[in-house]
Structure 1
């Protein structure tokens, strides 16, 4: 149909439906029909849906021993976890979610309304032509960029906008779900802007066993939240992040009627929720264990109230610029059960806060300090002496914390499992010497922009922390082959290695890693000294490799891809962008051996042509995304696989 649409513009939907019904219904025919255009995809789905309903009146016939789709315990819907074919890839997440609810509606509205309410499993064969392991309604309604047709761009754009609007989950869809899923325990309505208090009220009234509710980004008002509190007395987990329609009134009323069961609460960027809400939560939700707050409208009063009443508090995450030492000192003195503390962008508290935490929170295991400019080495020394059970530590952009503070952690916290040092310019080698000497259980190390850490520190960690499984280094220009060679020789359990723009790392390091470790994840973008020699060693030594990023490497060519195709059959994701030596020949070798490949990024590769793109698309049955320049995609490839082709934006 070049030039103009001579079918859709002339034939009514009823006639197209009749024509499509005359096919034998094989999977290949259905796939081909669905890939023509969005209109044909919708029409093709209708007979499949009806056939499944006609077999038994309410449910599709089941194979002998299928995996089940549990409705009673978990309701989430994550599109990416359900994609099984090119047809699914061709659907927007909104359309996919709407089809699930459409399939559910006839069952809900059938004469036997109790049939679904008591059933724990349900089969939607007409949606993805396979059994769904979980039925999730994690309705992520982020707008995806529409793949518009070259000849009908204006019409396609308008059609996409109308489809997007029609497929957004509404109160009506939520009401249908509520009627059929009485035993619902977990519901996520993330960024569902069309949901109102009316729809949430229907869920609350029908699903009284609800335990977890995530309303992030949903514009639901106080009435809906109050209804949940009145009806769902077992609710334990509530996420109100970015719920701009809520005020103190809704949170207070919810806490008053449903506070005893609540264990986890998250609030962020809600301008009308203040300390008044936290005071109510403190008064009624005394069993609260996890609290996450991100708002400039919270001050000391609310945090102090929580600390005084919620003595079972185990996790506290705060990004509240108006909270000061006073609040953290009360937390330290009263919340002895605290196990996780994350403090972000604090500019109004000092070492006094961490001194109180170190003194009172002996069970602290996980500590994150991000952009806390007034903390010094004294804070880490207090934590090290008081919180000896610490297992996870992240220091991000705390410019007054230096070597001495981290040395204290290394000496006292021998059970440390994960250490992340991001933008820590004042931390030097001797800090990691202590970690290597005493923290033999360390499994993960992250270093970003740490200019005073070099190969000597990495050698110390490699020799002392032989259980290391993850090593991520980015822009640490003093680290090179010497340190990584020691990692390859000593850390035999290493499976995850990321070396991003570490200029001094070359082939010798990767040869050592390839001989000593079997990697599953490798990222060496920007390591300009790496060539085919190093990558060949990885390919031969890591048969379970699933992710590889070799972008911006000018020394990588077709030989590496041939080795990967031969030695890494489990590879799923590869990034080849800016690799000038890779050609179509290398891609053919890669595709031949890596049958499970799902994503391939290959922009700015001048030797890759439309033939190479076609090879990847046609040769990988599981392929879901190919990122490439638009002019390299032939018309034939575009027709066959438009849903998986993503184009580099060149127009900005």
Structure 2
């Protein structure tokens, strides 16, 4: 057994649950979302899994420095990847331990570790082989520390991925990032970066950058879209959620270039209410390999967009159309042609009925997450039918305080259509 995963086991607390769990053959260990897990329980399993190379401890909120120090001492040079996402109790003692004992770490995730001030991270940058680092939402990091960290990472070796969401940039952060000529992944959502700085990044990283997220950057304008379209020749992933006063029109140059459009796998515009619908139509018409498209709250998204997606985007797996102007016709067409759908968000589309749900049930067997809050005309009976037909366990979000009492729909055997029968 080389892979072991224990996830979202809320009742798991101490060492009792781990008495017989673990093996020296385990290489990849995933312990995520076990909200009751404490240091002793983790330490016990690590004692039996001494060959772990990849360790994910995300969202175990009760773990402290004691766990990470013990992990560092036990796994030592075996450890190559560690994720401590949302472990808010961790301090510099944890990162210092990793820097001391785990010199082979190439990938580290400390997103949401709000007590880290950066001294241990700089030691990791100096002592480890870090190629991928996530320090998003580490609010204690000072701008000068961020400058030192990025420059140290770049000087040590090829930095391939860095997440700096909601981090305060220093005077030279953009310059140091621009010199990371192997960088393929850059997330800077929520950063106060202006158009000139962003254009500098795009010009420097244009030949390598594949994944970019600038969601919620308050100083960026439509000029940022021009930089993306003209400079980022290998872009596959574009995150531009909650952007104010941005139409995205200059992105048409990217999406209408078929060879570049074929590379696009992910686009997120949710909350960017001024995005031109023609940009969305261009994505739906030309990005044949797109897998994730998030368009919640956008103006002008109608059945016409759904028709284009159904005709041109067979690889679509995750789609958010919350509060868009779709009908059963558009959703049904999408279901028939996009059979790989895994997540679909349709919350706030009040005119949808059970017709949409039955189309999904008959055509999308891999669906495991659907959002339908506010869809008051969709019945519990239809959702039960959908749950019974899909392969995976389906997570349904369907809060309908506006639902008519006694709502029930059934199939008319003469017409084949679903109609209200509760009147």
**Same fold flag (TM > 0.5):** yes
Deviation at 1:483, TM superposition (A): 3.0
Q: Is 1:94 matched with 2:12?
A: yes
Q: Label 1:491 to 1:268 Cα distance change in 2 as closer, same or farther (>3 A).
A: closer
Number of the residue aligned with 1:506: 327
Deviation at 1:379, TM superposition (A): 3.5
Deviation at 1:271, TM superposition (A): 7.3
- Of 138, 147, 154 in structure 1, the residue corresponding to residue 31 of structure 2 is 138
Number of the residue aligned with 1:640: none
Number of the residue aligned with 2:419: none
> What are the superposed Cα offsets for residues 158-179 of structure 1, whole Å, 9 maximum, x if unpaired?
xxxxxxxxx6333xx5554454
Q: Is 1:474 matched with 2:270?
A: no
Deviation at 1:328, TM superposition (A): 0.9
Number of the residue aligned with 1:526: 348
Number of the residue aligned with 2:203: 359
> What are the superposed Cα offsets for residues 302-341 of structure 1, whole Å, 9 maximum, x if unpaired?
2563376145122232246542564313432x22212122
Number of the residue aligned with 1:186: 54
User: How far, CA to CA, are the matches of 2:171 and 2:375 in structure 1?
Assistant: 48
Deviation at 1:584, TM superposition (A): 11
Is the contact between residue 300 and residue 326 of structure 1 (CA under 8 Å) also seen in structure 2? no
Q: Label 1:585 to 1:302 Cα distance change in 2 as closer, same or farther (>3 A).
A: same
Is the contact between residue 300 and residue 323 of structure 1 (CA under 8 Å) also seen in structure 2? yes
Q: Secondary structure at the match of 1:396?
A: coil
User: How far, CA to CA, are the matches of 1:326 and 1:524 in structure 2?
Assistant: 43
Deviation at 1:360, TM superposition (A): 2.0
Report which of the two structures shows the higher radius of gyration computed on alpha carbons.
1
TM-score, structure 1 normalization: 0.52
User: How far, CA to CA, are the matches of 2:98 and 2:65 in structure 1?
Assistant: 13
> What are the superposed Cα offsets for residues 114-150 of structure 1, whole Å, 9 maximum, x if unpaired?
xx6xx527xxxxxxxxxxxx9846264536xxxxxxx
Is the contact between residue 43 and residue 71 of structure 2 (CA under 8 Å) also seen in structure 1? yes
Number of the residue aligned with 1:77: 6
User: How far, CA to CA, are the matches of 1:498 and 1:384 in structure 2?
Assistant: 24
Q: Secondary structure at the match of 1:103?
A: coil
Q: Label 1:409 to 1:233 Cα distance change in 2 as closer, same or farther (>3 A).
A: same
What are the equivalent positions in structure 2 for 1:590-601 lying under 5 Å apart?
none
Q: Label 1:393 to 1:309 Cα distance change in 2 as closer, same or farther (>3 A).
A: same
User: How far, CA to CA, are the matches of 1:240 and 1:460 in structure 2?
Assistant: 37
User: How far, CA to CA, are the matches of 1:389 and 1:398 in structure 2?
Assistant: 23
Number of the residue aligned with 2:184: 339
> What are the superposed Cα offsets for residues 359-394 of structure 1, whole Å, 9 maximum, x if unpaired?
222211112112323333333333433321112122
The count of corresponding residues between Structure 1 and Structure 2 is: 405
Is the contact between residue 132 and residue 162 of structure 2 (CA under 8 Å) also seen in structure 1? no
Give the number of the structure with larger relative contact order, counting CA–CA contacts within 8 Å between residues 6 or more apart: 2
- Of 170, 173, 182 in structure 2, the residue corresponding to residue 327 of structure 1 is 173
Deviation at 1:182, TM superposition (A): 3.2
Is the contact between residue 284 and residue 313 of structure 2 (CA under 8 Å) also seen in structure 1? yes
Deviation at 1:583, TM superposition (A): 6.4
Deviation at 1:487, TM superposition (A): 3.3
Number of the residue aligned with 2:415: none
Number of the residue aligned with 1:377: 222
Is the contact between residue 221 and residue 245 of structure 1 (CA under 8 Å) also seen in structure 2? yes
- Of 525, 541, 551 in structure 1, the residue corresponding to residue 373 of structure 2 is 551
Deviation at 1:78, TM superposition (A): 2.0
Query: RMSD in angstroms over aligned alpha carbons?
Result: 4.2
Q: Is 1:168 matched with 2:38?
A: yes
Is the contact between residue 532 and residue 560 of structure 1 (CA under 8 Å) also seen in structure 2? yes
User: How far, CA to CA, are the matches of 1:492 and 1:234 in structure 2?
Assistant: 40
Which deviates more from structure 2 when the two are superposed, residues 300-309 or residues 312-321? 300-309
Gaps in structure 2 of 5+ consecutive residues: 411-421
Number of the residue aligned with 2:107: 237
Deviation at 1:498, TM superposition (A): 3.3
Q: Label 1:556 to 1:356 Cα distance change in 2 as closer, same or farther (>3 A).
A: closer
Is the contact between residue 76 and residue 186 of structure 1 (CA under 8 Å) also seen in structure 2? no
| Greater percentage in helix | 1
TM-score, structure 2 normalization: 0.75
Number of the residue aligned with 1:625: none
User: How far, CA to CA, are the matches of 1:201 and 1:510 in structure 2?
Assistant: 51
